[in-house]
Chain A
């Protein structure tokens, strides 16, 4: 191929020199590298497997569960558990899970956000404070069933006068302790994301540390803290193991006519506990029930997750 020389009026074709040929060939290289594409394909495959699992899972749950919901409709949500699959509903599970969530909210959020504020805004880099951070990280890795033991001994036994023993209050406190480390970590990250220049500006006009935190840091970090809280709550919603040690019941129980406060100090269960209980039942009818209950649980979870993502995108601000 010849070069074109654009000199003025005429376009003269100048034959390529050998040097040009050599350079061009070298630059082209080997266009088709098998190894590269194979790797990319393999990697994409792993991602697709993950996606595929999700699809199959949701699919099988839908196949088994949707007929039940179609057949039973909202009564599924409003009837209590039973040994007979045709009579069993998730009402007690839903009530229990909601009560647990509220208790977790009340206890875990102030403690978690408060600890994060201390670690990020107040703490100097001392040994004690580094110990605090390490401790939180270690707590985040403790298996949730171990927290169940804490719940059993401390909340259900030691604090029995306050909690009433193996009640939903003890269960809620246990779950609060389970999610506390994660809440601290996500809140810390949200606080860390607030640019330091904002704090300096506040100090520069003579504000105290709390005034800077209250008026500027917390409002800026609020969206991040909020989404972190929601995701943590979603995680708490799905937890089962610790509750098994703190009294969540697997079978049918009647709360009796104790009224709201009395019922709080009585037996309880949660939606995931019901799912666990039903999935271990030999009666094959319960398999469909389990699937239906899973649909209810997943519906709640997906809504919560979606809400968190939407809110995060809406409030994510650029400085």
Chain B
């Protein structure tokens, strides 16, 4: 590692600056290794579509389209009423959002705008713990506490297994998700914006609601969309709390028992329908999966695009 000779006898040539070929080759190989790790994620996307597509299409060939319009979801009886599943998913997700949005956003606004650092240090870990509760545990809680003591208490006509309880359970499950994304977004609003509002004589309530909230709106909307997406994709809470039989009549009544797309899939997987009820039954699993995947993908792409568009303006 000699210092570069500057005497007139040995002139510097391009070859001196060419560096160590071995080192360069190693660098290239390492770069390729990391690139493949990143490329694996694209492979995963491809595999998901691949796994779903084949049998989903096969399902459509095995059944008559009119079966999709049936009045209920009884796969073993050849009744594949998708409306039932969509209605179930819709009801659970809507109730989940009704529960999760005020709780999540309220917690977010409080932690971001009002809470003292000490309070924040206590409550953030609590939110993180809530976020870490497995869905089966929340399912147990829903079935044993929420359903009997809350829903049946308020609505005497409700069954033990009902969609409303499931919706509430899912709502609690997604609250930490909405809260943390929204809170990050509001916390990131620069202090100068708040100071400008205070400087004009605005009080905290006005500042939080009319200045900070709108400034963070892209992140807040993203939080809500993530919440809906998670609610739609949630399986275990509903499976435990709304009945795991895998069948249901069409219903729009949350006090009834029902099925969502996800619970239909899990029931199909658990049952021995692969051997039993015929190929259409098993293939319906993939069809429902494809619909579910497409739906959540649309939501997530929309969410990302929304965030990017508003962020650019901000």
Contact = CB atoms under 8 A, between A and B. Distances in A.
Interface residues of A, number: 86
A273 B134 CA distance: 11
Given A40-B114, A142-B233, A33 B296 contact: no
Interface residues of B, dominant DSSP = helix
Interface string B156-200: 000000000000000010011001000000000000000000000
A56 B127 CA distance: 15
Contacts of A309: 125, 128
Interface residues of B, number: 89
A103 interface: no
Interface string B257-290: 0000010011001100000000000000110010
Contact of B300 (A47, A53, A137, A275): A137
Interface stretch (A1-9, A14-22, A114-122): A114-122
A115 B134 contact: no
Contact of B37 (A50, A115, A146): A115
B74 interface: no
Interface stretch (B3-11, B23-31, B64-72, B75-83): B23-31
A64, A123, A153, most chain B CB atoms within 10 A: A153
A241 B51 contact: no
Contacts of B175: 50
Contacts of A53: 130, 172
A111 B293 contact: no
Contact of A149 (B44, B208, B233, B285): B285
Interface residues of A, dominant DSSP = helix
B21 interface: no
Interface of B: 23, 26-27, 30-31, 33-42, 44-45, 47-48, 50-52, 54-55, 102-103, 106-107, 109-111, 114, 123, 125-130, 132-141, 143-145, 172, 175-176, 179, 203-205, 208-209, 226, 229-230, 232-236, 239-240, 244, 262, 265-266, 269-270, 285-286, 289, 292-293, 296-297, 299-301, 303-304
